[in-house]
Amino acid sequence: AQKVTQAQTEISVVEKEDVTLDCVYETRDTTYYLFWYKQPPSGELVFLIRRNSFDEQNEISGRYSWNFQKSTSSFNFTITASQVVDSAVYFCALSSDHSSASKIIFGSGTRLSIRP
Amino acid sequence: KAGVTQTPRYLIKTRGQQVTLSCSPISGHRSVSWYQQTPGQGLQFLFEYFSETQRNKGNFPGRFSGRQFSNSRSEMNVSTLELGDSALYLCASSLEGPLNEKLFFGSGTQLSVL
């Protein structure tokens, strides 16, 4: 069975602190994709990153960085020098390349609050 | 380029009624998928349409249905509404499909069933 676990339900930090959002996944597929999406108060999910299972290189985009480790089935997301605009719910998601789109699994989300 | 547009933004219905939600994808996107978001169950896949055909369906009862028109616009319908159908319904579009592509989401329709 496929599963995505975001154990941190809510995180609150003061602006400029670094924060890491954890994501642990389970799948028996050898080819799969991992995603992070951000959901601001307006409601729409905003794509942040996609990673395929064969690319374990870490990625950095501005203040955002992602650490993908197949050995621990984790795909963690770090925000450096957090800002108030980073406040949102963040979802980690997993999909396989099989035909069934019902295999797109979202984690339960982590609500991140950045205090001024 | 216009984003994904969902209408209406908010909807209040009573049990037993039916409801139709609309989604206009980004121009050129042929795949439209729908998701239900609730505090208890999180984000769950409902179904996906591609070129007017339902390509995939999640684990929801037959009361949930949808369709896609030739211009890629999509509608989803929920009949015989139940209290548990209260949720944020999100539509997402992509070029070919949701499995390994970046999805563009609308702001959703917040449905409240009384």
- pLDDT tens-place values along chain B, 114 residues long: 679 999 999 999 999 999 999 999 999 998 899 999 998 889 999 989 998 999 888 889 999 999 999 999 999 999 999 999 999 999 999 887 666 678 899 999 999 999
CA distances, B45 to each of A31, A76, A80, B95 (Å): 20, 23, 32, 18
Chain B touched by A50 (CB under 8 Å): yes
CA distances, A18 to each of A49, A58, A68, A73, B10 (Å): 19, 17, 18, 22, 36
Q: Which of B45, B57, B102 sits opposite A47 (nearest CB)?
A: B102
Confidence check: pLDDT of A14 > 80? yes
Using the beta-carbon criterion (under 8 Å), do A101 and B97 form an inter-chain contact?
A: yes
Per-residue pLDDT reduced to its tens digit, A19-31: 999 999 999 888 8
Q: What percent of chain A has pLDDT over 90?
A: 71
